[in-house]
Each structure stands twice: as C-alpha cells, then as structure tokens.
Structure 1
C-alpha cells in the first residue's frame, strides 16, 4: 500500500478536526457536514480503512511511527 506524505496527512487531520468542531457547534449546517464527510472519506481512502475512526487511528499510528524510528546512515556501496 502506498502511504501518504506525512505533512499532507497532518494537514488533513487538522482540517478534519477543525471541521468536526464546526459541525458539533452547528450540527444542522449541511455545508459543514458535507465538508466533514468529504474529509472523512479522504482519510478512509488514504489510510485504507472503512471507518473514519479506524482511519484516524491508523493515521496517528503512521505519524507516530515516524517519530520513534531513528534515522539510519546512508548505505552506499563504495
């Protein structure tokens, strides 16, 4: 599976969370709800998951894994 660019994924998660707060503040706004659903769909596709909850968990695991893995030296054969 191809993995998304981490900076793009961070931006997408941020937009999703902002839109989620907007929908919680005004749950009857159809435009806000549609934007949230579009972002949820995009997260699901990028992370290969069926639900937005699963997609967010997978995205957070993917982003966290990059922080804990030490960089290795460039291995060039000489």
Structure 2
C-alpha cells in the first residue's frame, strides 16, 4: 500500500507516469541501500513533512531533479498547438495533480494523472511532463503578450 501511495505522490510531484515513478523508487532504493517499502515510506514522510534519513532524502532529491530535467525531443517539423488548447491541457494536468496529491492511493486518479501527463507530452513533443509543462506555459505566455492586430484606417 505504501508503494502505491508513493507512486501516486511521485507522479504528482515530477509529474511522470506510474512506470517512471516506480523506476524512481527503485533507483532511490538501490542508491540508498534500502528496500522499496522503506523508500516508499520515506517519500510519503517527505511529502507529509516527517523525518527522512539524510542519505535517502539526498538521493531522492537528486532522482527527482533528474526526472524533471529529462531532455526534450529533438527539433523537427513540429508546430505548437493553439494557446487555448495548451491552456486546457495544462489546467487538466494541474487538476489531476491536485487530486493525486490529495488521494495518492486512488488508482483511478493516478490513471487520470498518467493520461493527462501523456497527452501533454505528446501534444508538446516532449519526453517529460516537466519539460512539456514549461514549454506549454512559455507558448501560453507568449500568446498573452502578442499585440493584437489593429484594423487599418482607424
């Protein structure tokens, strides 16, 4: 049960898929020299502000930073979607993230979060949700700042 809850927390924090969250848990467990259950309990304790062994916390922090900083897709002929569509995807992801943090052991909510992460990554052509969210927010912000075309002869 602790592992499933920790997977939900990691999916919301990174954000990432359930598979990636399990990979992060395994990576932290191996690097810290502890079992997956102890790693999951450390993730849950860190989320709740509880005590976490320094060695585990350090490894966890590095693993999360690495997961958030995956390189984006190589440049190609990709063209960004409309800012309104991006705004809808980002808002859906954020809402799913909030629900996953509130109920990390709910498999349905984790599935919804995973689908939202996947959709945004595909739309943005990125390999990680963190990169996809940053790229989408940049496009949304630029769209907000673009001057509107004024009609001629006014």
Q: TM-score range by the shorter chain?
A: 0.7 to 0.9
| 1:31 equivalent in alignment to 2:108 | yes
Q: Secondary structure of the residue that 2:79 maps to in structure 1?
A: coil
Aligned to 1:47: 124
1:57 corresponds, among 130, 134, 137, to: 134
Aligned to 2:144: 67
Superposed CA offset, 1:47-72 (max 9, x none): 11110000000000011111222235
Q: Secondary structure of the residue that 2:81 maps to in structure 1?
A: coil
Aligned to 2:12: none
Superposition TM-score, scaled by structure 2 size: 0.45
Q: Alignment length, in residue pairs?
A: 74
Q: Distance in 1 between matches of 2:101 and 2:111?
A: 13
| 1:12 equivalent in alignment to 2:89 | yes
CA RMSD, Structure 1 to Structure 2 (Å): 1.5
Q: Name segments (4+ residues, structure 1) moved above 4 Å.
A: none
CA drift at 1:22: 0.5
Superposition TM-score, scaled by structure 1 size: 0.84
Q: Distance in 2 between matches of 1:40 and 1:9?
A: 13
Q: Distance in 2 between matches of 1:62 and 1:3?
A: 8
Listed as ranges, the gaps of 5+ residues in structure 2 are 1-77
CA drift at 1:5: 2.1
Q: Distance in 2 between matches of 1:13 and 1:68?
A: 18
Structure with max Cα Rg: 2
